[in-house]
Structure 1
Amino acid sequence: MRRIVFLCASLCACASARRGAFDAGEVPVPLLPQWIAAGSTFGGALSPDGRELYFDTMTADRKTMTMLVSRFDGSGWGAPAPLAFSTGPRDIDPFVTPDGQHLLFESDRARGNFDVWIADRSKGGGWATPRPVEAVNTDDNEVFATQSAAGEMVFGRAAQTTGRPRPVLYSFRPGGAPRPLPASINDGNTSSNPLIAPDGSFLVFVSDRPGGQGDTDLWVSFRDGEQWREPRNLGVPINTADGEFAPGISADGAWLFFTRRHEGRNVVQVVRTPGMLRGP
């Protein structure tokens, strides 16, 4: 079985901290229940050094969405605080690039539709003023952008219409133009929230296609050269009859994060990364 080689050589000094940061095993459990209450919180993106955890909270009417960060001090996680530049009105889906130097997110702050934005890591350890990623943004909604260490970005794009249009998932490489992912992924059912592995070898995404456990599930497609293999359902206990969405993975491959929608409330989950994600 082919092993996924995660980009963690520079992170060895922090490995013990990461392993002890979450009390989770093979069955998903709520993430940081002392800080993240079930309800309006979603997402989960861990910085490569394992010391910053980013997620979202929203108001009941969904008109305000704010990005938060909790920091690990070696013994525990601190109280989440809003990011200074998360001024919205709706900022969503934070993602820290594998080198830890950039933070991707989506916002409707400029034009009323969601665009991809990027903030660079500042010398003091915080984030500089974000700017839009013009190479991928359009008048439609671009959402849930993630990026491999090689710079390949994947994201969803949905038309500006009433209701809930089905997103199309795209791949973008610097110097090129965004291209739709193949029909095996964009199969006509709902496909969203694409998470590319740090080494680019697999793609976890959300879909309600046939063969799942119910509602939306997490699926994985492995890369074979320039092609993507037929997606596989991550199965129980990650997927359930509830809706699972917003996947995230730690840079060392140890932890998988996602959100489960249960009885109308979001519950952010963490679990040891399943063996399926270590090879096809």
Structure 2
Amino acid sequence: MKAVKVTFLFLLFLLFSCKKESPSNLTLLDANTPTDTPLIFGNGIISTNNYEFAVTFTPEMDELYFTRRKPNADNEIYTMKLVDGKWSNPEPALFTATEGWDFEPHISPNGDTLYFGSTRPLPDATKSNGLHQWYSKKEVNGWSSPLPMENPFMDRSVIMYLTSSENGNLYFTTGEKGDKPEDWVIYKSVLEDGQYKSIDRMGQKINATGKWIAHSYIAPDESYLIYDFKSDLGFGDSDLYISFNKNGEWTVPLNLGPKINTEKTEMTPSVSPDGNFLFFHRGSKDDGNIYWVDFKQIKARMEKNLTVNKH
């Protein structure tokens, strides 16, 4: 009987050992893992004396892309890959524009599409250039040559920081003709029958609380939206907020609080594919880095605050 008990306990030990979460690929890049206080991400490697923002990952978190702007230079997308357990050094993406500039990459939740904003010339010379969204498709040997997104997106002279959900819906920043940049807000486009048929401004809960409303990150399951804007009730130039999708209705955005938001600009949020970490830019006009923080703690706290506020 004693032998049976020992065997049972040993099997339990093996079971829980197998379930133990393996170390994230991100810790191979930066072992200084944050808790509820943000830390600079990839200090000296990704976050440098240049201006870095907007990071995105493949679902396996073995490839990443981010934006870097060197002093007196244009925005440029850099990439890193995990090879044989080691991350490569950052280098310009293969699709880097030879004319114009690229920024704010986003990889779709299923990993098959890489979107980014670019001022590069359009293939159709009859169409006016602007800040358009381009995309590349995942192929066996890497990413395909990028193409511009067509209508209804081509009708806008500016579309930036596009992110996508699992069902293919797209969220981004744009404005109507004649709008000033500080009046641009969050729009979405729903994938219907394999097509994007319209661009629709999101409702007042999302878009009515500040200026410079931008950089929306949509959860893969569309359960929350994280974005940034400037408010007289905020902590600095621009703060990060979260809104939750409750039965198809978006809640009033909640400020992520003083540990996240400072007197500086916080913007361009994204969440790691495993849902564990929130990434964002913090900086001033000419300098800034990418930060990361434990997102599960923040999300739980925000949902609790939402419940408290309802009562």
Same fold (TM over 0.5): yes
State the match for 2:165 in structure 1.
148
State the match for 1:44 in structure 2.
55
Distance 1:15 1:206, change over 3 A: farther
State the match for 1:172 in structure 2.
189
State the match for 2:174 in structure 1.
157
Distance 1:48 1:15, change over 3 A: farther
Q: Percent identity?
A: 25
State the match for 1:241 in structure 2.
263
| Matching of residues 91-170 of structure 1 within 5 Å | 91-109=102-120, 110=122, 111-124=128-141, 126-134=142-150, 135-158=152-175, 164-170=181-187
Q: CA deviation at 1:15?
A: 5.4
| Matching of residues 7-86 of structure 1 within 5 Å | 16-18=23-25, 20-21=27-28, 22=30, 23-26=32-35, 27-36=37-46, 37-61=48-72, 64-73=74-83, 75-86=85-96
State the match for 1:181 in structure 2.
202
RMSD, matched Cα: 2.4
State whether residues 169 and 180 of structure 1, in contact with CA within 8 Å, keep that contact through their aligned partners in structure 2.
Answer: yes
Distance 1:221 1:162, change over 3 A: closer
TM-score, normalised relative to structure 2: 0.79
Q: CA deviation at 1:136?
A: 2.2
Distance 1:171 1:227, change over 3 A: same
Distance 1:34 1:164, change over 3 A: same
Q: Take 1:45 and 1:238, find their aligned partners in 2: how far apart are those partners?
A: 19
Q: CA deviation at 1:150?
A: 1.0
Structure 2, gaps ≥5 residues long: 1-18, 123-127, 304-311
Q: Which structure carries more relative contact order (alpha carbon 8 Å, separation 6+)?
A: 1
Alignment of 1:227 with 2:210, yes or no, is no
Alignment of 1:90 with 2:101, yes or no, is yes
Q: Take 1:219 and 1:139, find their aligned partners in 2: how far apart are those partners?
A: 26
State the match for 1:5 in structure 2.
none
Structure 1, gaps ≥5 residues long: 1-11
Q: Take 2:84 and 2:225, find their aligned partners in 1: how far apart are those partners?
A: 31
State whether residues 17 and 74 of structure 1, in contact with CA within 8 Å, keep that contact through their aligned partners in structure 2.
Answer: no
Q: CA deviation at 1:130?
A: 1.2
Q: Take 1:24 and 1:76, find their aligned partners in 2: how far apart are those partners?
A: 17
Distance 1:18 1:160, change over 3 A: farther
Larger Rg, first or second structure (1 or 2): 2
Q: CA deviation at 1:266?
A: 1.1
More helix by share: 2
